[in-house]
C-alpha cells in the first residue's frame, strides 16, 4: 500500500514467487503417488489452498474425488488416499481409523499423508500407536508463507497463538524460522533485524542457526526487503482489542475476511446467491477505500458512482465509430467497475444495518473511555449490561480484556461480578475461558499488594533456580503489569485533542480507531525507521503535503530503551543479518558498528524502504493497523473450552 501514492517508494517484491513455489511443491508431492487418488483436505487448509491452486490443477495430477477431513469416504472410493493435513493429533487418529477400518474389511489401499507446513514427531507417534505406521507414507509440504496481497504475507497458522501463548508450546517456532529462511533466500539478505518479545527472539535465533548451514547463497544479490521486525503479539494486545472503524476492518468484523477473500451474502449482492470476492489491491474500488475511515467511504462511493454514470452517459451523442471504440475499449472496464461498486455499496449498507442495530456507537464510546482512563465505572456498567443482554459473547470478552489491560487488571469485586454474570449469560463452562484468559494475562484480577508479592517471589524463585533457566510465559504474564498507561504516554499513543479529530485528513495513524489509539506495533516501527510513516498508508499524496524527510534509519533501539523496559523487553536488533550471528543479538544497539557502510548508504538513498514486519501470524510490508485483524482475537477466544 505504501507504494501506491509515492514516487520514491521502491517496487514491492514479487511475492507471487511464494505461490508458485508452493504450487510446484504440491504438484511434485501429488506426483509421488502416481495414479488416480482421492484427496482429503483439512478444513482450514482449504482457503489457503484455494489461493494457490484450483480443482483443475488437482485433477490434472490425477486427484479424483475431494473430501474434507473428518468426513467418511464413500465405500467405493479409490485405491489411493492422499491426506493433506495440519500436523494434529486428532487428524492422525481420523486417518488411522480409516486405515484400520480398511484392514478389518480386507481392503488394501495406498495412503499418503502430506503435512503442512511440517510434520511433528508426536504425529508419527500416534500413527505408530494406532498400528498404521508403515502403512502410510508421510511427506511435508513446506507451505510456510501465503501472500494475501501485494504487501501482506501470512503464515496462516491458526493454532500459533493458543499453542505458544497459552500452552507455552514452542512447536511453531521452527516454522517461523523456516519462513524467515525462505523470505531471506528469496528477497534478502535483510539489512537489519529488530525484535521484541521472547518468541521473536527464539525464532530469530533458530533462523540464524538454520541460516548458518546454508551460508553463501544469495550473497551479492540486491536485497528487496530492507529490515525485518519480529514482534510478539502480547506486546500489543490493545490493537487487537479495539473496534476497527476503517472499511476493511468493518468488512472483516461483519463478514469475516478469510485468507484475503470474503463471502458476500444475498443481502450484499442483491441477488439470491452469495459471491466470493477477493479483497486485494487488484480490486480498484476496494484498494481506494480499504484504509479509509468508514465515515469517508460513502462520499467516495457516491462520487465514484457519479463518475461512472457520467462515463456511461458519454455514449449518448457518439457516432458509430466512437461507439465501437467505446464498446471495445472502455465498456468492459466500466462494467467491472460497476460490479465492484455495487458490491461495496451493498457491503456498506449491510455494515450500517448491523452496526446501527447494535449499540456500536456506545461501544466505541466505552472503548475510548477505557483507552483514556476516564469514566471507568461507566464503562464497567456498560460492559455489564452488554453481558446481561446476552449480546455477542466475544464482544463482551473483548471489552473486559480491554478493561483489564488498560487498568492493569480488574478490581476484584468487579472481576467476580462480571465473571458471575458472564457465566450466567453465556454458560457455566466459560469458567475454563476465564482461567485461560487469566493465564495468558489478558483478563486478570488486580491483586492486593500482598498477593502480588507472593506471586512475584514465587516467580523469582523459579528464575533464580539455575536449572529452571527460563520461566514460563504463563508465569511471566501473570507477574507482568501491562504498563499500558506508561507506554502510551511515552510513545504518545493516545492523541491529545484540541478540537475535533479530523478523520478525513488524519494527522496520525490513530484514525484507524477513530482517533483514540495509535497501534503500538506500528508506532514502534515508525519510531525505529525514523523516516516518517505516512499517516494514511493508502491515502492520496495530498494528505501529507510535506515530503518525507531524508533521515537515516535509527540504529538499533537507541532512544527507545525506556519503552522496551516497559514492554518487558527480550528485544534485539542486529544489522546486516548476512554477517552477524545470534551473538550480535543483545540489548541496545551494540552491534551497529558492524553495519557495513554500504548498507548505510543504500539506506540514505532510499529512505522509504520497504520493511517487512512480522507478528506471529503474518508479515505486512505496510504498517497496516492490524495485519490479521481479528485473527488473534478469535484465537484467544478459542482458548475457551474447546481444548
Partner 1 sequence: MSRARADEEEYWHSSKFRAFTFDDEDDELSQLKESKQAVNSLRDIVDDDDDDLERVSWSGEPVGSISWSIKETVSSSASSLEGRDSSLQKGSSSYAAFPKQVSSYSLSSLFRGRNKLPSFQSLSDALSDTGVKNYAPELRRPKAEYKDYSNDWSPKDTVRRMQRGKVCSLERFRSLQDKLVLLDEAVAGHDGNVITAVLIFLKRTLRREILFRELEVRQVALCHLIHFLKETGEQKLLLDLLRFLDRTEEVALSQYREHLNIQDVEKRREFLKGCIGLPFSAEDTSHIQDHYTLLERQIIIEANDRHLEMSGQSEIFRKYPRKASILNMPLVTTLFYSCFYHYTEAEGTFSSPTNLKKTFKIPDKQYVLTALAARAKLRAWGDVDALFTTKNWLGYTKKKAPIGFHRVVEILQRNNAPVQVLQEYVCLVEDVETRLSLATKYKCHDVVIETYKDLKDRIQLTAYKCKVERGSAEEEKINSILNNMQIRWKN
Footprint on this chain of partner 1 (rule: CB under 8 A): 89, 100, 103, 108, 118-122, 124-126, 128-135, 137, 140, 163, 167-174, 202-203, 205-206, 209-210, 384-385, 388-390, 416, 420-421, 423-429, 431-432, 435, 462, 465, 467-472, 474-475, 641, 643
3-state SS class at 386? helix
For the CB of residue 212, give the shortest distance to partner 1 in the complex, in Å.
10
For the CB of residue 603, give the shortest distance to partner 1 in the complex, in Å.
30
- Nearer CB in complex with partner 1: 379/534: 379
Closest CA to 310 of 344, 338, 342, 269: 338
How many Å apart are CA 197 and CA 611, to the nearest integer? 19
- Nearer CB in complex with partner 1: 202/510: 202
Helices 247-255 and 294-313 pack at an angle, to 10 degrees, of: 100
SS (H, E, C) 404-427: HHHCCCECHHHHHHHHHHHHHHHC
User: What is the dihedral angle through the alpha carbons of 400, 401, 403, 407, rounded to the nearest 10 degrees?
Assistant: 140
- Nearer CB in complex with partner 1: 475/513: 475
- Nearer CB in complex with partner 1: 137/303: 137
Q: What cell was used for 181?
A: 529462511
For the CB of residue 126, give the shortest distance to partner 1 in the complex, in Å.
7
- Nearer CB in complex with partner 1: 91/529: 91
Question: Is 299 in contact with 348 (CB distance < 8 Å)?
Answer: no
Question: Is 639 in contact with 160 (CB distance < 8 Å)?
Answer: no
For the CB of residue 121, give the shortest distance to partner 1 in the complex, in Å.
4
For the CB of residue 548, give the shortest distance to partner 1 in the complex, in Å.
38
Instruction: Write down the H helix ranges in 82-172.
Output: 89-104, 121-129, 160-161
Tell me the backbone φ, ψ of residue 416, rounded to 5 degrees: -65, -45
The label of the residue with cell 453465556 reads 426
- Nearer CB in complex with partner 1: 242/614: 614
Q: Does the CA dihedral 405-408-412-414 come out positive or negative?
A: negative
For the CB of residue 176, give the shortest distance to partner 1 in the complex, in Å.
10
For the CB of residue 394, give the shortest distance to partner 1 in the complex, in Å.
15
- Nearer CB in complex with partner 1: 115/513: 115
How many Å apart are CA 632 and CA 640, to the nearest integer? 13
- Nearer CB in complex with partner 1: 16/412: 412
Closest CA to 88 of 66, 109, 70, 65: 70
Strands of the sheet with 611-615, listed across from one edge: 146-147, 152-154, 618-620, 611-615, 227-231, 192-196, 572-575
How many Å apart are CA 481 and CA 484, to the nearest integer? 8
- Nearer CB in complex with partner 1: 336/643: 643
For the CB of residue 416, give the shortest distance to partner 1 in the complex, in Å.
6
For the CB of residue 161, give the shortest distance to partner 1 in the complex, in Å.
14
Amino acid at each position: 500500500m505504501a507504494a501506491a501514492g509515492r514516487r520514491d517508494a521502491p517496487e514491492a517484491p514479487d511475492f507471487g514467487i511464494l505461490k508458485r513455489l508452493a504450487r510446484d511443491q504440491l504438484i511434485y508431492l501429488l506426483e509421488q503417488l502416481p495414479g488416480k487418488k482421492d484427496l482429503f483436505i483439512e478444513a482450514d487448509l482449504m482457503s489457503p489452498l484455494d489461493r494457490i491452486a484450483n480443482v483443475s490443477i488437482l485433477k490434472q495430477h490425477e486427484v479424483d474425488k475431494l473430501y474434507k477431513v473428518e468426513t467418511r469416504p464413500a465405500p467405493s472410493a479409490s485405491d489411493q488416499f492422499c491426506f493433506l493435513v495440519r500436523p494434529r493429533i486428532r487428524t492422525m487418529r481420523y486417518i488411522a481409523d480409516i486405515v484400520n477400518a480398511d484392514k478389518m474389511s480386507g481392503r488394501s489401499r495406498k495412503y499418503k499423508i502430506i503435512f503442512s507446513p511440517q510434520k511433528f514427531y508426536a504425529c508419527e507417534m500416534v500413527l505408530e500407536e494406532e498400528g498404521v505406521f508403515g502403512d502410510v507414507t508421510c511427506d511435508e509440504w513446506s507451505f510456510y508463507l501465503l501472500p494475501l496481497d501485494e504487501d501482506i504475507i501470512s503464515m496462516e497458522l491458526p493454532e500459533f497463538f493458543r499453542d505458544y501463548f497459552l500452552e507455552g508450546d514452542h512447536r511453531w517456532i521452527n516454522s517461523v524460522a523456516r519462513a524467515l529462511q525462505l523470505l531471506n533466500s528469496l528477497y534478502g539478505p535483510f539489512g537489519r533485524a529488530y525484535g521484541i518479545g521472547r518468541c521473536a527472539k527464539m525464532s530469530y535465533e533458530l533462523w540464524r542457526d538454520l541460516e548458518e548451514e546454508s551460508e553463501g547463497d544469495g550473497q551479492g544479490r540486491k536485497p528487496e526487503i530492507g529490515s525485518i521486525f519480529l514482534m510478539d503479539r502480547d506486546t500489543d494486545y490493545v490493537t487487537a482489542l479495539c473496534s476497527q472503524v476503517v472499511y476493511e476492518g468493518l468488512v472483516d468484523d461483519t463478514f469475516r475476511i478469510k485468507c484475503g477473500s470474503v463471502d458476500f451474502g444475498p443481502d450484499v449482492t442483491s441477488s439470491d446467491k452469495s459471491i466470493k470476492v477477493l479483497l486485494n489491491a487488484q480490486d480498484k474500488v476496494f484498494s481506494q477505500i480499504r484504509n479509509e475511515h468508514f465515515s469517508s467511504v460513502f462520499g467516495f462511493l457516491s462520487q465514484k458512482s457519479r463518475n461512472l454514470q457520467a462515463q456511461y452517459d458519454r455514449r449518448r451523442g457518439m457516432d458509430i465509430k466512437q461507439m465501437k471504440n467505446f464498446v471495445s475499449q472502455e465498456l468492459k472496464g466500466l462494467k467491472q467497475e460497476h460490479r465492484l461498486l455495487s458490491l461495496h455499496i451493498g457491503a456498506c449498507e449491510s455494515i450500517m444495518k448491523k452496526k446501527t442495530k447494535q449499540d456500536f456507537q456506545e461501544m466505541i464510546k466505552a472503548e475510548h473511555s477505557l483507552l483514556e482512563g476516564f469514566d471507568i465505572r461507566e464503562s464497567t456498567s456498560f460492559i455489564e449490561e452488554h453481558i446481561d443482554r446476552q449480546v455477542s459473547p466475544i464482544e463482551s470478552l473483548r471489552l473486559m480484556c480491554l478493561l483489564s489491560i488498560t487498568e492493569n487488571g480488574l478490581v476484584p469485586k468487579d472481576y467476580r461480578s462480571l465473571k458471575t454474570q458472564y457465566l450466567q449469560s453465556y454458560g457455566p463452562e466459560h469458567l475454563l475461558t476465564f482461567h485461560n484468559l487469566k493465564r495468558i494475562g489478558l483478563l486478570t484480577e488486580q491483586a492486593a499488594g500482598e498477593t502480588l508479592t507472593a506471586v512475584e517471589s514465587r516467580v523469582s524463585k523459579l528464575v533464580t533456580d539455575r536449572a529452571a533457566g527460563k520461566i514460563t510465559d504463563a508465569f511471566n504474564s501473570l507477574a507482568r503489569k501491562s504498563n499500558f498507561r506508561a507506554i502510551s504516554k511515552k510513545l504518545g499513543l493516545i492523541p491529545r485533542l484540541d478540537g475535533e479529530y479530523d478523520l478525513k485528513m488524519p494527522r496520525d495513524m490513530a484514525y484507524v480507531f477513530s482517533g483514540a489509539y495509535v497501534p503500538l506495533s506500528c508506532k514502534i516501527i515508525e519510531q525505529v525507521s525514523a523516516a516518517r510513516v505516512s499517516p494514511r498508508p493508502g491515502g492520496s499524496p495530498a494528505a501529507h503535503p510535506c515530503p518525507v524527510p531524508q533521515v537515516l534509519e535509527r540504529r538499533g533501539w537507541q532512544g527507545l530503551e525506556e519503552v522496551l523496559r516497559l514492554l518487558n523487553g527480550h528485544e534485539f536488533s542486529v544489522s546486516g543479518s548476512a554477517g552477524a550471528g545470534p551473538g550480535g543479538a543483545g540489548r541496545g544497539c551494540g552491534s551497529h558498528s558492524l553495519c557495513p557502510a554500504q548498507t548505510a548508504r543504500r539506506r540514505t538513498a532510499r529512505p522509504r524502504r520497504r520493511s517487512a514486519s512480522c507478528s506471529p501470524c503474518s508479515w505486512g510490508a505496510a504498517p497496516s493497523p492490524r495485519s490479521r485483524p481479528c485473527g488473534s482475537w478469535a484465537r484467544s477466544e478459542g482458548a475457551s473450552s474447546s481444548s
